[in-house]
Amino acid sequence: MLVDSHCHLDPYFRGEVPEVLARARQAGVGRLVTIGVRLSQTPALLALAEAHPEVFCTVGIHPHNAGETPPPEVAEILALARHPKVIGIGESGLDYFYDKAPRDAQAESFRRHIRAARDSGLPLVVHARDADADIAAILAEERARGGEFPFLMHCFSSGPELARQAVAMGGYISFSGILTFPKSGELRALAAELPEDRLLLETDAPYLAPVPLRGKRNEPALVVHTARVLAEARGVTPERIAGITTANFFRLFRKAA
């Protein structure tokens, strides 16, 4: 079985979720996590998760949206996370590439999501783009201040030093279709060296469709292509990668078991 640990069924697949899930099942994808980007989106995510046994969700505020409302109260995140199908916090983090929200608002939101992850024991889904140093610093500071917390660096395309720092802090690394792109040789080299017990797979659908479908709309079934490239990078079979990444998913996202 494969797992798509990060996709966006809402709002991008409204009206066609059953068909999308059927194609995922045919491809061997047995679990999907649809990700929260605004707390106001939570009812829609819960409706999807409640309607489909293989679908789980997270609750959180994307860094792009961190300036739309005051920083979330940790208690508000925790209350939403009590639902049995909410298995993670986020996505949250820092995005200095688009800078759609003030950086101080992104950082404060990120810290509050970290505290919610620590208090709930649920993994934090971390978004990091062009912000490696600040992501690493905030993760380390919050860990030193309040103790360890589970987290996942999603759709990893940052530098190798951030990956190594994240792993050293107990984090997991998730690879998307970016891993399959022709110019991603350095990312594949990093994927080959990381500990196998920290690797996950995702699509980030509808974005970042993998080769050979780059430029098309991505969907959970296409995670098989990223799994194949990860297997090639590490010199193992796709079946081995499926087993490793699925076991890692259940170890990190314990509520999905």
What CATH number is attached to the domain comprising 69?
Answer: 3.20.20.140
Cα separation, 23 vs 33, in Å, equals 16
How many whole angstroms separate alpha carbon 111 and alpha carbon 52? 32
| Per-residue confidence (pLDDT) for residue 123, from 0 to 100 | 98
Torsions phi, psi of 33, nearest 5?
-120, 115
Residues 163-219 pLDDT 10s: 999 999 999 999 999 999 999 999 999 999 999 999 999 999 999 999 999 999 999
> Percentage of the chain with pLDDT > 90?
100
DSSP, residue by residue, 203-253: --BTS-PPTTSTTSPP-GGGHHHHHHHHHHHHTS-HHHHHHHHHHHHHHHS
Q: Is 197 helix (H, G, I), strand (E, B) or coil?
A: helix
The mean pLDDT of 9-22, rounded to a whole number, is 97
Given pLDDT bands bounded at 50, 70 and 90, which one contains residue 16? very high
- What pTM was computed for the model? 0.97
The total number of structural domains that make up the chain: 1
Q: What average pLDDT does the chain have? A: 98
* pLDDT score, position 158: 97
Sheet with 55-59: strands ordered across: 2-7, 29-34, 55-59, 86-95, 124-129, 151-153, 172-175, 199-201
Amino acid 193: pLDDT: 98
pLDDT tens, residue by residue, 220-242:
999 999 999 999 999 999 999 99
Q: What is the pLDDT of residue 150?
A: 98
Angstrom distance (rounded) from CA 109 to CA 99: 14
Given this model, what pLDDT does residue 75 score? 98
Report, as an integer, the average pLDDT of 110-129. Answer: 98
Range of the domain at 170: 2-256
